[in-house]
Amino acid sequence: METEAIQENKDVIAAGHKINRAFGKAIGDFNMIEEGDKIMVAVSGGKDSLCLLNYMMSYQKKAPINFKILAVNVDQGQPGFPKETLPNMFEEWGVPYHVEFQDTYSVVLEKTKPGKSYCSICSRMRRGILYRLAQERGCNKIALGHHQDDVLETFLMNAFFSGQLAGMPAIYEIESGTCQVIRPLYAVAEETIQTYVSGQDWPIVPCTLCGSQDGMKRQEIKQLLSDLKAKYPDLKSTLFGSLHHPDPRFLFDKELWNGDIPSIKQTV
């Protein structure tokens, strides 16, 4: 029993190191955080956003630059949402915060067509609220907790259902140019976050809205990846690696093709 606990502890520590490395690399590779930034960290209360806030705060302590963090939770009016949980945690963690109440829950239920996912309307509405808040609160960046599995699922969904080769940008600017969105956890596997968070005593607030839906495309893709991973353990990291090495010569976008004709070795 004791051995099991020691192993679990080792796994949590190893997961923490992995996240730390991928987080630091993402920030460096995409110049996500700069001197004088005021970064709004979107915290839904799920494991990913709590992990993001935790790493943003520890990076703030050790970074050679100065930047500010504002943790923001959008209380979307979900029944049973524990209103005190996140503010109490923010106080305990000593991070400046803001909780914005907007009942998007009723709108999402009303506007979502039968068989469609709540998440697309819900996340679009929440994103709109965050963009507005960033402007009101003087934040020039918003950090979101999307991870590697989100990237892969989006990539496959785009390829399968939208006819596009596209994942999720690690950093992008909102069209109005007022704010950038960064995803410092984009290269961290969800199971690594899960392992790390399982070793913390953080109060996780799950979403009760989307959990009530079955058979949505994203869940199907998630399941597909998980089934394939059971057979090919490295599949996710290989697929993620492929997003770093596109070869336009073997694709069909004339805008990207530079006229370079590939030379292919003849094998007998």
Q: Are strands 171-173 and 141-143 parallel, antiparallel or unpaired?
A: unpaired
Identity of the residue, 27 or 142, whose beta carbon is nearer to ligand SF4 in the bound complex: 142
* Residue 145 CB, nearest approach to ligand SF4 (Å): 11
CB 133 within 8 A of CB 40: yes
Q: How far is the CB of 127 from ligand SF4 (least distance, A)?
A: 9
Q: Looking at beta carbons only, is 122 or 152 nearer to ligand SF4?
A: 122
Is residue 196 involved in binding ligand SF4 (CB under 6 A)? no
Binding ligand SF4 (rule: CB under 6 A), the pick from 55, 118, 196, 240 is 118
Binding mask 8-37 for ligand SF4 (x = CB under 6 A): ------------------------------
Amino acid at 35: E
Window 45-84: residues binding ligand SF4 (CB under 6 A): none
Query: How many chain residues bind ligand SF4 (CB under 6 A)?
Result: 7
Which residues lie closer than 8 Å to 103 by C-beta, 6 or more apart? Answer: 76, 77
SS3 15: helix
What is the DSSP code (8-state) at residue 160? I
C-beta closer to ligand SF4: residue 120 or 237: 120
- What SS3 state is found at 94? coil
Rounded CA gap, 260 and 191, in Å?
40
- Is-contact 22 188, C-beta < 8 A? yes
Question: Which letter does DSSP use for residue 114 in this model?
Answer: T
119 is a site residue for ligand SF4 (CB under 6 A): yes
Q: With binding defined as CB under 6 A, does residue 207 bind ligand SF4?
A: yes
**Binding test (CB under 6 A) with ligand SF4, winner from 210, 216, 225, 243:** 210
Can residue 122 be called a binding residue for ligand SF4 (CB under 6 A)?
yes
Q: How many Cα atoms sit within 13 Å of 221 on the Cβ side?
A: 17
**Residue 78 beta carbon to ligand SF4: minimum distance, rounded to whole angstroms:** 8
Q: How far is the CB of 119 from ligand SF4 (least distance, A)?
A: 3
| 102 part of the interface to ligand SF4, by CB under 6 A | no
| Residue among 145, 152, 151, 153 at smallest CA distance from 182 | 145
Q: Does 209 bind ligand SF4 (CB under 6 A)?
A: yes
**Residue 76 Cβ, how far from ligand SF4 at the closest point, in Å?**
6
The phi, psi pair for 216, rounded to 5°, reads -75, 155
Q: What one-character DSSP code corresponds to residue 64?
A: S
Q: Distance between CA 184 and CA 150 in Å, rounded?
A: 13
- Chain residues that interact with ligand SF4, rule: CB under 6 A: 118-119, 122-123, 207, 209-210
